Amino acid sequence: MPAPSPVRPFGALLTAMVTPMTDDGALDLEAAERLAVELVDAGHDGLVLNGTTGEAPTTSDREKADLVRVVVRALGGRALVLAGAGSNDTRHAVAMARHAAEAGADGLLAVTPYYSRPSQDGVVAHLSAVADAGDLPVMLYDVPARTGLRLSADSLRRLAEHPRITAIKDATQDPAAAFRLIHETGMAWYCGDDDLLLPYLSVGAVGLVSMAGHLVGEELARVIALAEAGEPEQAREVFRSVLPVIDLISGSGNGALRSKLALTLTGRIPGPAMRLPQLPAGEDETAAVGAALAAALGTP
């Protein structure tokens, strides 16, 4: 896999990692360490902790810092660790950014403020404040389906002028807009939706922040490498082979639940426990995911 560089500051393949939990809802830090090491062994350049897939809305600041600390220690510098610093309270987001740096994170994932729906000037001020909180490089996260707002082209151009804002995870599902903005901003563009990886790579994206990477990281890494090597037909062939897994993880609209359930059924984490308001999978969904895994991966 291509190493981190000014053009690709966070590498090519990152997975937004789930946060393993025990049946009583406590963080299972030992399982998190094991999972992080497995993912890096499978070709990941980095991991994103404390994002939506990691159930950040329901974990405390101390838990977030503990998770970053143990994963950074377990990886020993073999891959980058980005920590989510997402809140609609700017002071809280700044505090999370500082806690992540103290815990050893290599970078931050800063999502646009959700629910409050501030003006574009307010969004720029919020994200700039997170970037100003320390010395860590920042990957923006634009996901209007979750936040209720989208970064405007003007806001992105302004944010790109910040020396520590170097990349964006684009979950707008709009590769045509990305094509223009990659050129206009000079930021490193990362696809934020597994199923749109090929379209985003074709317009200049440099990598992927994945959920399906929990299960098919090696294959997704190969897709990116093949596309970069000028082998589009081979890239499409490999990508077609993992589409069933992408559909499995993304199909219900709850990627965290599906990822945890799939990891449990394949023996990678001890259990699929989640915190309210997320409910665990019921019997029907567990059976459906098990059958889909068997079909997609050939698991028993």
Residue 125 pLDDT > 60: yes
The predicted structure's pLDDT at residue 295 = 85
The predicted structure's pLDDT at residue 263 = 96
Instruction: Considering only residues 299 and 270, tell me which one the structure prediction assigns the higher pLDDT.
Output: 270
Lowest mean pLDDT among 48-62, 172-186, 231-245, 270-284: 270-284
- Region for residue 71 given its phi and psi (left: phi exceeds 0; alpha: psi -120 to 50; beta: otherwise): alpha
Q: Name the band, by pLDDT with cuts 50, 70 and 90, for residue 6.
A: low
- Which of these is catalytic: 64, 141, 190, 200? 141
Contact 249, 194 (CB under 8 A): yes
Q: Name the band, by pLDDT with cuts 50, 70 and 90, for residue 124.
A: very high
Average pLDDT in the 96-101 region?
Answer: 98
Residue 2 pLDDT > 70: no
Average pLDDT in the 97-126 region?
Answer: 97
Report long-range pairs for 132-135 (Cβ below 8 Å, ≥24 apart).
132/94, 132/164, 133/85, 133/94, 133/97, 133/98, 133/101, 134/97, 134/98, 134/101, 135/101, 135/164
Residue 300 pLDDT > 60: no
Known catalytic residue: 114? Answer: no
What is the Cα–Cα distance from 222 to 18, expressed in whole angstroms? 22
Residue 3 pLDDT > 70: no
Cross-strand bridge partners of residue 9: 11
What is the Cα–Cα distance from 249 to 243, expressed in whole angstroms? 10
Question: In Å, what is the CA distance from 125 to each residue of 101, 111, 197?
Answer: 20, 13, 30
What is the Cα–Cα distance from 300 to 298, expressed in whole angstroms? 7
* Residues 6+ positions from 92 with CB-CB distance below 8 Å: none
Q: CA 51, 179, 196, 165: dihedral to nearest 10 degrees? A: -10
In this predicted model, what pLDDT tens digit does every residue of 132-143 receive, in sequence order? 999 999 999 999
Query: What's the chain's average pLDDT?
Result: 95
Q: Is the pTM of this model over 0.85?
A: yes
Residue 46 pLDDT > 90: yes
Report long-range pairs for 95-99 (Cβ below 8 Å, ≥24 apart).
95/61, 96/50, 96/61, 96/64, 97/130, 97/133, 97/134, 97/136, 98/133, 98/134, 99/61, 99/64, 99/65
Structure tokens at 51: 């994002």
Contact 193, 174 (CB under 8 A): no
Known catalytic residue: 64? Answer: no
Average pLDDT in the 231-252 region?
Answer: 93
The predicted structure's pLDDT at residue 251 = 74
- Which of these is catalytic: 169, 190, 200, 260? 169
The predicted structure's pLDDT at residue 286 = 92
DSSP three-state, residue 16: strand
Average pLDDT in the 106-124 region?
Answer: 97
Residue 13 pLDDT > 80: yes
Question: In Å, what is the CA distance from 187 to each residue of 1, 137, 159, 162?
Answer: 20, 12, 10, 11
Q: Name the band, by pLDDT with cuts 50, 70 and 90, for residue 19.
A: very high
The predicted structure's pLDDT at residue 1 = 45
Residue 280 pLDDT > 90: no
